[in-house]
Structure 1
Amino acid sequence: MDLMGMMGKLKETQQKIEDTKKRLDTVLIDEQSTDGLLKVTLTANRKIKSITIDDTLLEDKDQLEDYLILTLNKAIEKATKTNEAELDAVAKMDMPMIPGMDNLFK
């Protein structure tokens, strides 16, 4: 087993994971309420970029709060799936097959 080669490969993979994380800051996820009155955009790293609220929602605080919770949760779920799929692909693509190592990326 070439330990030095594997260490180099690990470093390379870590760098690719860092690069992917940076790139995911530029991947935007859009989500909106079913009626389109509330729109949110966040990065695949789950940072909120924008929230657009229709004026009609400003009249009902409870409704607005419900809309925010529902729509943000849907957006976060989408962003998380994108994030995990991207990082998973990088990790799997470059990892030498070492027994037990696949658990590190879960």
Structure 2
Amino acid sequence: MDIMGLMKKAGAMQAKMAEMQAELDNITVEGFSGGGLVKVTLTAKGALQGLSVDPSLLKVEEKEILEDLIVAAHADARRKAESLMEEKMKDLTAGLQLPPGMKMPF
């Protein structure tokens, strides 16, 4: 491939990357723990948008359990966000020949 063709392809990919980044700000994922008693909502980029806790967990003696469930729900949502971002990147880089092991930055 000639250098001009490569530059053109890189420019198009950069534009698509900007579109994808804007889209990821508007996509939310939810993570759950405790059988759904705790729910965390994140943007696909990982920004915390919401937290929902079942009232049955709001007891002083269950404070540590609640804290652990919040952390677990956040981790669940984060995994989903990362998976979504990987999927979007696969779509974006389809047909682009990257060296083995090279990943595109988010």
TM-score range, shorter chain: 0.7 to 0.9
Give 1:1-106 correspondences, 5 Å limit: 1-59=1-59, 60-93=62-95, 95=96, 97=97, 100=99, 103-105=102-104
In 1: Cα distance, 2:101 partner to 2:3 partner = 18
Farther-moved stretch of structure 1 (26-35 vs 44-53): 26-35
In 1: Cα distance, 2:71 partner to 2:64 partner = 11
Q: Show structure 2 runs of 5+ residues with no match.
A: none
Aligned in 2, Cα 1:81/1:16: closer, same or farther, shift over 3 Å? same
Aligned in 2, Cα 1:55/1:82: closer, same or farther, shift over 3 Å? same
SS in structure 1 opposite 2:93? helix
Q: Show structure 1 runs of 5+ residues with no match.
A: none
Instruction: Tell me, yes or no, if the aligned pair for 2:34 and 2:69 is still in contact at 8 Å.
Output: no
SS in structure 1 opposite 2:58? helix
In 2: Cα distance, 1:15 partner to 1:55 partner = 45
Aligned in 2, Cα 1:26/1:68: closer, same or farther, shift over 3 Å? same
- What's the CA shift string for 1:42-73, capped at 9, x where partnerless? 11111111001122222121011110111110
Farther-moved stretch of structure 1 (34-43 vs 10-19): 34-43
Residue identity in the other structure for 1:65:
E
Aligned-pair identity in percent equals 29
Shift of 1:84: 1.2
| Matched residue count | 103
> Normalising to structure 2: TM-score of the pair?
0.84
- What's the CA shift string for 1:12-48, capped at 9, x where partnerless? 1011012111101111112222432111111111111
**What root-mean-square deviation, in Å, do the aligned CA atoms of Structure 1 and Structure 2 show?**
2.0
> Normalising to structure 1: TM-score of the pair?
0.84
